[in-house]
């Protein structure tokens, strides 16, 4: 090969290399660009889903406001208690669907009832929590351990208790809050509570601000069972069938023979706290939106805790 044709060969190879390099850079740019687009779309859809959820939440607030104006009690036969059917979300820019449900949170055991206003353990609530755990076939020791989590002092309850001395030995170490909590999922961190136990307990507990009564019209079977140690499973079954048509006709006469006199004042047939659970799907993005709604005596309904979840 003479010198000029060798030079042409080198030029050709260089040209091929440059073309290959440029195509690979272009391809990588296009790929990055597609990923960026995708990320941006996902963020946009997510934002839109949250906005849709907030809109639906205000609609639910009006349902709960109307309910208070129209009815004196709260029970599972009311409009708010039925599942929200799937609703289309349709506009020029947003296409999707939402559905959800409202739950009466006073149908659950409020773990903040475990302490009184001075931060001392409330023995009645502690015993009720023990009965709830037994009804769910869980370890009743969890009640005393939960009470220590909330109570103001650092002295572990006896025989069941756990304070900082236990938790600071964990890896990672943590400490007890020693005050009322805002989310019952904190109990998953208790000494002796594993995931399986917590999953069983979770639908029956709640952390509401301050001390609250129990709405017997909506209480879960296990919570009804926890009201007295002498209640049998068949007592609970007949209570549930008695309340089926619009709640208990006469709460006092039904329960006065079933529960201890000191439990009776805690039983209610109205509710101030509801949990809204909304599933919003916008294009490929789905969110689950939780909102705790507090309804005041004049019908004002305000969200006091919002979160995004997975279940
Ligand atoms: Ca009502
Ligand atoms: Ca404590």
Residue 147 Cα to ligand 2 midpoint, Å, equals 7
Ion ligand 1: residue ranges with CB closer than 5 A: 67, 71, 74, 78
Closest CA to 248 of 274, 215, 292: 215
Residue 61 Cα to ligand 1 midpoint, Å, equals 13
Residue 66 Cα to ligand 2 midpoint, Å, equals 41
- Residue 80 carries which DSSP code? G
* pLDDT number for residue 311: 66
Per-residue confidence of the chain (311 residues) as pLDDT tens digits?
A: 566 777 888 899 999 999 999 999 999 999 999 999 999 999 999 999 999 999 999 999 999 999 999 999 999 999 999 998 899 999 887 889 999 999 999 999 999 999 999 999 999 999 999 999 999 999 999 999 999 999 999 999 988 999 999 999 999 999 999 999 999 999 999 999 999 999 999 999 999 998 999 999 999 999 999 999 999 999 999 999 999 989 999 999 999 999 999 999 999 999 999 999 999 999 999 999 999 999 999 989 999 999 998 76
Residue 163 Cα to ligand 2 midpoint, Å, equals 6
* pLDDT number for residue 58: 96
The long-range contacts involving 184-191, CB below 8 angstroms and separated by at least 24 positions, are 184/111, 186/149, 187/111, 187/142, 187/146, 187/149, 190/142, 190/145, 190/146, 190/149, 190/162, 191/145, 191/162, 191/166, 191/167
| Helix, coil or strand: residue 215 | strand
Structural domains present in the chain: 1-111+202-311 (3.30.1300.30)
Residue 77 Cα to ligand 1 midpoint, Å, equals 9
> Which segments of 120-214 does DSSP mark as H helices, in order?
123-135, 141-150, 164-167, 195-201
Residue 69 Cα to ligand 1 midpoint, Å, equals 8
Alpha-carbon distance of 103 to 107, in angstroms, equals: 8
Residue 162 Cα to ligand 2 midpoint, Å, equals 8
Cut 0.95: pTM above it: no
Q: Tell me the backbone φ, ψ of residue 273, rounded to 5 degrees.
A: -125, 125
Residue 178 Cα to ligand 1 midpoint, Å, equals 35
The closest ligand to the CA of 121 turns out to be: 2
The closest ligand to the CA of 154 turns out to be: 2
* pLDDT number for residue 87: 93
Write out the two tokens for 45.
């859809």
Residue 210 Cα to ligand 2 midpoint, Å, equals 17
Closest CA to 212 of 131, 138, 295, 140: 295
Residue 137 Cα to ligand 2 midpoint, Å, equals 25
| Helix, coil or strand: residue 189 | helix
Write out the two tokens for 140.
């009743």
Residue 176 Cα to ligand 2 midpoint, Å, equals 6
Residue 29 Cα to ligand 1 midpoint, Å, equals 59
Greatest distance between any 2 Cα atoms in the chain: 114
Q: Tell me the backbone φ, ψ of residue 225, rounded to 5 degrees.
A: -60, -35
Write out the two tokens for 240.
């549930």
C-alpha to C-alpha distances, 55 to 61, 163, 282, nearest whole angstrom: 10, 43, 14
For the chain, helix (H) and strand (E) counts, in that order, are 8, 9
């Amino acid at each position: 090969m003479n010198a000029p044709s060798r030079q042409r060969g080198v030029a050709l190879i260089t040209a091929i290399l440059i073309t290959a390099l440029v195509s690979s850079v272009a391809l990588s740019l296009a790929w990055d660009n597609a990923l960026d687009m995708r990320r941006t779309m996902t963020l946009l859809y997510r934002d839109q889903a949250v906005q849709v959820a907030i809109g639906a939440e205000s609609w639910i607030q009006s349902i709960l406001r109307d309910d208070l104006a129209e009815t004196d009690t709260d029970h599972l036969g009311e409009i708010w208690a039925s599942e929200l059917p799937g609703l289309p979300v349709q506009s020029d820019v947003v296409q999707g669907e939402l559905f959800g449900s409202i739950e009466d949170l006073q149908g659950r055991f409020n773990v903040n009832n475990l302490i009184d206003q001075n931060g001392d353990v409330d023995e009645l609530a502690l015993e009720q929590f023990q009965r709830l755990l037994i009804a769910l076939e869980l370890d009743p020791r969890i009640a005393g351990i939960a009470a220590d989590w909330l109570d103001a002092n650092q002295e572990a309850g006896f025989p069941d208790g756990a304070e900082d001395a236990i938790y600071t030995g964990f890896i990672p170490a943590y400490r007890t809050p020693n005050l009322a909590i805002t989310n019952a999922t904190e109990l998953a961190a208790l000494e002796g509570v594993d995931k399986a136990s917590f999953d069983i307990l979770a639908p029956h507990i709640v952390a509401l601000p301050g001390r609250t009564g129990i709405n017997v019209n909506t209480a879960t079977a296990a919570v009804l069972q926890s009201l007295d140690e002498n209640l049998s499973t068949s007592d609970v079954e007949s209570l549930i069938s008695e309340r089926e048509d619009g709640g208990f006709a006469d709460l006092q006469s039904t329960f006065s023979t079933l529960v201890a006199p000191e439990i009776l004042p805690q039983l209610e047939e109205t509710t101030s706290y509801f949990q809204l659970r909304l599933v919003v799907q916008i294009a490929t993005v789905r969110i689950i939106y939780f909102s705790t709604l507090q309804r005041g005596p004049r019908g004002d309904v305000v969200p006091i805790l919002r979160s995004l979840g997975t279940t």
